[in-house]
Amino acid sequence: MLKGIPKILSPELLKVLAEMGHSDRLVISDGNFPAESMGKDAIVIRCDGHGVPELLDAILEVFPLDSYVEKPVNLMEVMPGDDVETPIWKTYEGIVAKHDDRGASAIGNIERFAFYDEAKKVYAIIATGESALYANIMLQKGVVVD
């Protein structure tokens, strides 16, 4: 164990976060996301017993968001015709605002199939047990400034 590191971040996940460089991206996926098929060229880390918000908050404790792009955080858009509420997105806004001065303005949306295309190019996918629909979130890493 280490001091100051959120306990939810496993050694495997910490290693991956540390290996990532500026502009590398990761997806924290909900339980319905096809993490294994999307992540054939990525590192897939299973965190089935956890939800996206708790992992997002812990990750953003140690993971800077990219300051060189307007939207370093992206959500999967709800498909037209889907009658789905996404209250988890408000939770994400609060978490992002806690860790990044841009707050909700750092968060964008990507159409569902474009999100899948982008997910195939990420460095890592963290597969959670999150049951909320459209709870997938993509983060782009920034630089650590001391």
Catalytic: 68?
no
Catalytic residue among 30, 66, 92, 134: 66
Catalytic: 66?
yes
Catalytic residue among 24, 50, 99, 116: 116
| Contacts of the segment 86-90: beta carbons below 8 A, 24+ positions apart | 86/132, 86/133, 86/134, 86/135, 87/132, 88/52, 88/53, 88/130, 88/132, 88/134, 88/135, 89/134
Residue with tokens 């500026």: 22
Catalytic: 50?
no
Catalytic residue among 22, 68, 82, 117: 22
Just list the catalytic residues.
22, 66, 116
